[in-house]
Amino acid sequence: MNDQLSALKTKLDLASSLLLTFPAVASQDVVAASLALYLSLKQSGKAVSIVTSTPPTVRDSHLVGLDKITTDLGGNNLVITLNVPEDAVDKVTSNTEGGHLNLIINPRTGVAPVTEKDVTFSYSGAVADLVIILGASDLRDLGALAERENTLFVQDKIINISSQVGSFGAVNLTDPASSNSELITALIKELSLPLDIDIANNLMQGIEAATSGLSAPNLTADTFEALAILYRAGARRQTATIPVREAKIVADMPIIDNTTPASIKEDWLQPKIFKGSKSN
C-alpha cells in the first residue's frame, strides 16, 4: 500500500489535468467520496473535472459539489449515436454533394428507417494526464463513458481507488474492509491535501451511508480514526428529523375519574385557598 501511495503522489505531482469518474450505478458512499476528492484536488490547485455516465440523483442532493458532476467529457470529436439495434443498419456511406459532408444510413431490408429521434450527438477525444476511478471493480462499471473514450482509459493513466478489489490501473489503492469515503479520508491525510468542513461533511455522510449509520458489524478502528479526522475538520453527523406532533384538545371540560370517591371529587372542584404560616 505504501508503494502504491508513493506512486500516486508522484503521478499527481506530474499531472497538470485530471479526470475523476465513478461507476454509472454508484452508491452514496462512492458519490460522497468522489465529490470530496474532487473538491480537495481543486483546492490544491489541480485542473480537475468530475464526469460520470449517468446524471446525479436526488438522493445525493445534500452533498456539496453535486452540481459539478457532468456527463459530458468534451473533446474535439463529434460522436453521432444511432439509438437503434446494431443489426437494424445495413450500411453507412458518405459523400460531399452540395459542398457538405453527408452521411447516408441505409436500414436493413424490412426494418424501419432511422429517424431524427433515434440520433444523439456527443463529443469524444477528451484529454487528461491522469484518470482517477473511484469505487469500481473494473472499467465496465463506468458504462458508456469508458466505451466512448477507450483511448483515454488506458492502464498507464488510471488510478484505481476502491473498496472493491481490482487491478486495472497503474496504481491500485483498494481495501475491501473499508468504505470508499474512509479510503479518501486516509488518502487526503497521507497526501496532505486540503480538508475543509464541506469536504469533511461529504466524507462523514459517505461513511454513515456505507455503515448504515455506524451500526454495521464490520466497523473497524480505522473507521473511527477517519471519523475523528473529520470531526476535527468541523464535520458533524446528520441527525434524523423527528416529526413534531401537535397536541390536540380532546374536550374543554375537566376529566373526572368515576372510580374516585365522591368526597375527593368534590374537593378537587372546590377553589383552593393557600394560607401562609404564622410565625411565632
Compute the distance between CA of residue 85 and CA of residue 173 in angstroms, rounded to an integer.
38
What pLDDT is attached to residue 135?
Answer: 97
Identify whether residues 111 and 17 lie together within a single domain: no
Q: Which of 24, 88, 78, 74 is nearest to 52 (CA)?
A: 24
Mean pLDDT, residues 87-94 taken together: 82
Identify whether residues 107 and 198 lie together within a single domain: no
Model confidence at 85: pLDDT above 70: yes
**Is residue 248 a part of any domain in this protein?**
no
For residue 94, with 0-12 CB atoms within 10 Å meaning exposed, 13-18 middle and 19 or more buried, which class applies?
exposed
DSSP classification of residue 99: G
What pLDDT is attached to residue 105?
Answer: 85
Tell me the C-alpha to C-alpha distance, in Å, between residue 67 and each of 57, 63, 71, 75, 127: 11, 9, 11, 20, 22
Compute the distance between CA of residue 105 and CA of residue 144 in angstroms, rounded to an integer.
23
Cα R_g (the chain), whole angstroms: 31
Identify whether residues 147 and 69 lie together within a single domain: yes
Compute the distance between CA of residue 187 and CA of residue 5 in angstroms, rounded to an integer.
8
Specify the 3-state DSSP secondary structure of 262.
Answer: helix
Mean pLDDT, residues 229-249 taken together: 69
Identify whether residues 217 and 115 lie together within a single domain: no
Identify whether residues 62 and 130 lie together within a single domain: yes
What pLDDT is attached to residue 274?
Answer: 46
Dig out the grid coordinates for 54 from the structure.
Answer: 449517468
Residue type, 100: H
Identify whether residues 196 and 210 lie together within a single domain: yes
pLDDT per residue as tens digits for the range 120-178:
766 665 678 999 999 999 999 999 888 888 888 999 999 999 999 999 999 999 999 99
Answer yes or no: pTM beyond 0.85: no
Looking only at the bridges linking them, the beta strands covering 77-82 and 119-124 are antiparallel
User: Which one has a higher pLDDT value, 268 or 97?
Assistant: 97
Compute the distance between CA of residue 84 and CA of residue 63 in angstroms, rounded to an integer.
36
Identify whether residues 26 and 70 lie together within a single domain: yes
Residue type, 96: T
How many domains are there within the chain?
2
> What does pLDDT average to over the chain?
84
User: Which one has a higher pLDDT value, 110 or 171?
Assistant: 171
Residue type, 241: T
User: Which one has a higher pLDDT value, 59 or 267?
Assistant: 59
pLDDT per residue as tens digits for the range 2-52:
789 999 999 999 999 999 999 999 999 999 999 999 999 999 999 999 999
* CB neighbourhood size of 173 (10 A): 19
What pLDDT is attached to residue 247?
Answer: 43
What pLDDT is attached to residue 98?
Answer: 73
Dig out the grid coordinates for 47 from the structure.
Answer: 485542473
**Is residue 152 a part of any domain in this protein?**
yes
- For residue 148, what is the domain's CATH number? 3.90.1640.10
Q: Which of 46, 34, 10 is nearest to 128 (CA)?
A: 46
pLDDT per residue as tens digits for the range 98-109:
777 888 888 888
Tell me the C-alpha to C-alpha distance, in Å, between residue 57 and each of 7, 27, 66, 240: 34, 11, 9, 21
What pLDDT is attached to residue 233?
Answer: 96
**Is residue 52 a part of any domain in this protein?**
yes
Dig out the grid coordinates for 69 from the structure.
Answer: 458532476
Domain that holds residue 18: 2-74+126-232
What pLDDT is attached to residue 250?
Answer: 46
User: Which one has a higher pLDDT value, 181 or 81?
Assistant: 181
Identify whether residues 161 and 48 lie together within a single domain: yes
pLDDT per residue as tens digits for the range 243-264:
445 445 444 444 445 555 555 4
Identify whether residues 68 and 81 lie together within a single domain: no
